[in-house]
């Protein structure tokens, strides 16, 4: 689950910067045609009666969802085809059979007319049941056709009320069709049962589950997921880290997946030439019940086990994924002016996840590692990748300048005071 306010945007921007070289390869800049069909997103909104509750920043859940949708519609990239489907919006009665049919396409998936979509959202009012399973089947059908990325973003404040059609089984059925559709889920109530159901739906298709408690969290997260649909699709490569650097696989630029058990350390190697920069990021997902306090550590070290730079992240049970990253520019020349040889950089991924004794430890937790080796920026040899490196001279100059300025100011102040007393 993720519960955080707007500072999350800064963390997401940093991670995006670390992976920019991978996400946008040369010749396929953002916004340029890629030869693929347009990415499609279907926003699936729960409009059941419980959405009247006023527990999101003093406003009703429905009002918060409407505001979030309006802001998302304004920010949707031009290349994304977006649609909106509802569940529980039209049937107010007690007939369960009728209530479980209550899903409708509010705005069809296609090129976005922002004014028309906002007008449709304005008509929504909390009404009936919560038929998540049937709505997922219809939402998947809305996205049929084309080879671009497909994503459903489900926003709900309650569990499905139409069993035995289990929404988790529906999600697995959708995943089994192999149509490349991802389902992300957002829960508007901090409920353990809701969390389990929405997490199960998301995990079945490789999506994410997020717990929402504030208006800005809802807007930010939906915006992030819509933007993600527009990113070029990168197919991850399965790899297997080793127990030491000497035995680790050598990785080139790319996206890799692995499994890491609780408290385990996995090693990978990257070859870095002088003047190149290594950008790496790692995400470890808690795909089972774990204790709330945990962390992920990514270190770049030499073959002689000297740490170069590190990135780390800590979790408190509010998110099901922890991510961190690092950068290391290898200088063109060393301190003596000689051009250094190629270097083997060892990447070590360590986690501090733990769980109760009844929780299975195998297979390990899903791990996703991004490696990007790019030409370093001009002047990369003037600043080390960690600390200030050769930039210490600048700090020393600033300190000395401040010290001398203080002496001069003090002398002038004493002189003016002496002149004033004399007069």
pLDDT at 14: 35
Q: State which of 200, 229, 258 marks the end of a domain.
A: 229
* 65 and 192 share one domain: yes
Q: Are residues 244 and 223 in the same domain?
A: no
Task: Look at residue 193 and tell me if it is in a domain.
Answer: yes
The pLDDT of residue 268: 97
The pLDDT value recorded for residue 411 is 77
Q: Within a domain: residue 280?
A: yes
Q: What is the pLDDT of residue 376?
A: 62
pLDDT, tens digit (0-9, with 9 covering 90-100), for 211-227: 998 999 999 999 999 99
Residue 354: inside a domain: yes
Residue 282: domain span: 237-382
The domain tally of the chain equals: 2
Question: What is the average per-residue pLDDT within 29-46?
Answer: 70
Residue 29 belongs to a domain: no
Please answer whether residues 47 and 86 qualify as being in contact, where contact means their C-beta atoms are separated by less than 8 angstroms: yes
Please check whether residues 354 and 244 belong to one and the same domain: yes
Taking 70 as the threshold, does the pLDDT of residue 244 lie above it?
yes
Q: What is the CATH classification number for the domain harbouring 211?
A: 3.40.50.410
What pLDDT was estimated at residue 7? 38
Query: Residues 285-298: what's their mean pLDDT?
Result: 87
Residue 49 falls within a domain, yes or no? yes
pLDDT tens-digit series, residues 109-154: 999 999 999 999 999 999 989 999 999 999 999 998 888 889 999 9
Residue 80 scores a pLDDT above 70 = yes
pLDDT digits 0-9 by tens, 84-112: 999 998 998 989 889 999 999 999 999 99
Neighbour count for residue 385 (Cβ, 10 Å) = 18
The confidence score (pLDDT) of residue 206 equals 78
Position 383 scores a pLDDT of 37
Q: Mean pLDDT over residues 50-65, rounded?
A: 94
Over range 43-58, report the average pLDDT: 94
| Mean pLDDT, rounded, for 41-45 | 96
Q: What is the pLDDT of residue 394?
A: 56
Distance CA 208, CA 184 (A): 5
| 208/284 same-domain check | no
Whether residue 133 is found in the same domain as residue 114: yes
211 and 92: one domain?
yes
Q: Is residue 32 predicted with pLDDT exceeding 80?
A: no
Does residue 243 sit in the same domain as residue 222?
no
Q: Is residue 12 part of a domain?
A: no
pLDDT in tens, 351-408: 999 988 888 888 888 898 989 888 765 443 333 333 434 444 556 666 677 777 777 7
Rounded CA-CA distance 310/377 in Å is 20
Let me know whether 312 and 362 are in one domain.
yes
Q: Are residues 354 and 262 in contact, defined by beta-carbon separation less than 8 angstroms?
A: yes
- What pLDDT is attached to residue 108? 96
- Structural domain contains residue 105: yes
Mean pLDDT of 331-350: 74
Residue where a domain stops, chosen among 190, 208, 229? 229
Q: How large a percentage of the chain has pLDDT more than 90? A: 45
Q: Do 202 and 146 reside in the same domain of the chain?
A: yes
pLDDT mean over 305-333: 82
What CATH number corresponds to the domain at position 269? Answer: 2.60.120.380
Question: Domain boundary at 229, 245, 274, which?
Answer: 229
Q: What is the pTM of this model?
A: 0.54
CA–CA separation, 224 vs 12, rounded Å? 9
Same domain assignment for residues 252 and 225: no
- Least confident among 74-78, 204-208, 316-320: 316-320
What confidence score (pLDDT) does residue 15 get? 37
Q: What percent of the chain has pLDDT over 70?
A: 79
pLDDT digits (tens, 9 = 90+) for 247-274: 999 999 988 989 999 989 999 999 998 8
Residue 406 lies inside a defined structural domain of this protein: no
The predicted model gives 46-52 an average pLDDT of 93
Same domain, 252 and 206: no
Specify whether 148 is located in the same domain as 214: yes
């Amino acid at each position: 689950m993720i519960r955080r306010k707007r500072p999350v945007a800064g963390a997401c921007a940093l991670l995006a910067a670390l992976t920019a070289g991978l996400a946008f390869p040369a010749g396929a800049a953002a916004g340029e045609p890629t030869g693929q069909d347009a990415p499609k997103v279907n926003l699936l909104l729960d409009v059941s009666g419980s959405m009247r509750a006023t527990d999101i920043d003093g406003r009703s859940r429905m009002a918060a969802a409407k505001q979030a949708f309006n802001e998302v519609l304004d920010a949707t990239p031009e290349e994304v085809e977006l649609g909106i489907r509802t569940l529980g919006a039209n049937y107010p009665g007690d007939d369960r059979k009728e209530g479980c049919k209550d899903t409708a396409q509010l705005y069809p998936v296609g090129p976005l007319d922002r004014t028309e979509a906002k007008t449709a959202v304005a008509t929504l009012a909390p009404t009936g049941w919560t038929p998540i399973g049937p709505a997922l089947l219809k939402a998947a059908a809305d996205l049929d056709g084309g080879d671009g990325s497909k994503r459903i973003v489900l926003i709900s404040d309650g569990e499905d009320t139409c069993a035995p059609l289990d929404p988790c089984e529906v999600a697995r059925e959708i995943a089994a069709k192999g149509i490349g559709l991802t389902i992300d889920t957002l829960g508007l109530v901090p409920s353990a049962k809701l969390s389990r159901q929405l997490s199960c739906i998301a995990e079945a298709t490789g999506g994410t589950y997020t717990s929402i408690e504030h208006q800005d969290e809802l807007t930010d997260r939906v915006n992030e997921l819509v933007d993600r649909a527009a990113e070029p699709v990168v197919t991850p490569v399965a790899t297997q880290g080793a127990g030491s650097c000497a035995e680790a696989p050598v990785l080139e630029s790319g996206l890799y997946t692995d499994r890491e058990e609780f408290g385990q350390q996995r090693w990978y190697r990257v070859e870095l030439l002088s003047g190149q920069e290594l950008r790496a990021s790692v995400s470890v997902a808690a795909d089972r019940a774990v204790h709330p306090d945990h962390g992920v550590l990514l270190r770049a070290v030499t073959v002689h086990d000297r740490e170069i730079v590190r990135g780390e992240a800590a979790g408190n049970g509010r998110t099901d994924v922890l991510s961190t990253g690092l950068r290391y520019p290898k200088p063109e020349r060393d301190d003596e002016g000689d051009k250094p040889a190629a270097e083997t950089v060892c990447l070590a991924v360590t986690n501090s996840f733990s769980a109760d004794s009844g929780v299975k430890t195998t297979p390990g937790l899903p791990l996703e590692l991004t490696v990007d080796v790019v030409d370093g920026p001009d002047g990369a040899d003037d600043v080390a990748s960690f600390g200030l490196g050769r930039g210490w001279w600048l700090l020393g100059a600033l300190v000395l300048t401040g010290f001398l300025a203080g002496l001069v100011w003090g002398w002038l102040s004493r002189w003016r005071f002496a002149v004033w007393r004399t007069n």
